[in-house]
Amino acid sequence: MEEIKREWYVVRASGGKEGKVKEYLDKEIRLGHLEDYISQVLIPTEKYYTIRNGKKISKEKVSYPGYVLVEAALVGQIPMIIRNIPHVLGFLGETKEEGRKMQAAPLRPQEVARILGRVDEMSEKEEELETPFFAGETVKVTEGPFSSFQGTIEAVDNGRKKLTVSVKIFGRKTPMELSFTQVEKEN
């Protein structure tokens, strides 16, 4: 049997339903024994940190909302199977010519390398801390000798992940340097 030529395609999905589309596609591949035709289904994501209640929390967000990458050979019924998955809106770059079937445009090799390279880079890269703090904002100190004190952010140093917070001590505003993890936003 000759090698089946698979290419990368972008499938458009309903907003926020990328995970469901991947789940349904993986199930369809498994049940229909389509592994030879659809080899990978990928949702590029980015990892980042946010701080909630003074704790560092790792989160993931979709890099390209509304899109799912599929490595497939679009032969026979494969395009129709993919289009009929719930929450799939079609293929990106799909053209419909008079009297012909809809034709999906594959990604160029350099686009695939850039996207997959970015995905690999994101999985290896240390997650970034989303900076939820801004100068002038009121925060509550959660750690250290001044825990439970309220203060106003005077300066934010993203590189060092430090804040200069002005806290009232004995009726005087006193600036102090705190890390992002030592404070939380006031509601």
pLDDT of 158 reads: 80
Q: What is the per-residue pLDDT across 138-182, written as a single tens digit (0 to 9) for each?
A: 999 888 888 889 999 999 888 788 899 999 888 889 899 998 888
The architecture CATH gives domain 7-129: 2-Layer Sandwich (3.30)
Q: Which amino acid makes up residue 112? A: V
Q: Which stretch of 17-31, 93-107, 165-179 has the lowest confidence by average pLDDT?
A: 93-107
Q: Where are the domains of the chain?
A: 7-129, 138-185
Average pLDDT over residues 64-68: 91
| CATH number given to 138-185 | 2.30.30.30
Give the whole-number percent of the chain exceeding pLDDT 90. Answer: 39
Q: How far apart are CA 36 and CA 29, in angstroms?
A: 9
Domains 7-129 and 138-185 equal at CATH topology level: no
Q: With 80 as the cut, is the pLDDT of residue 54 above it?
A: no
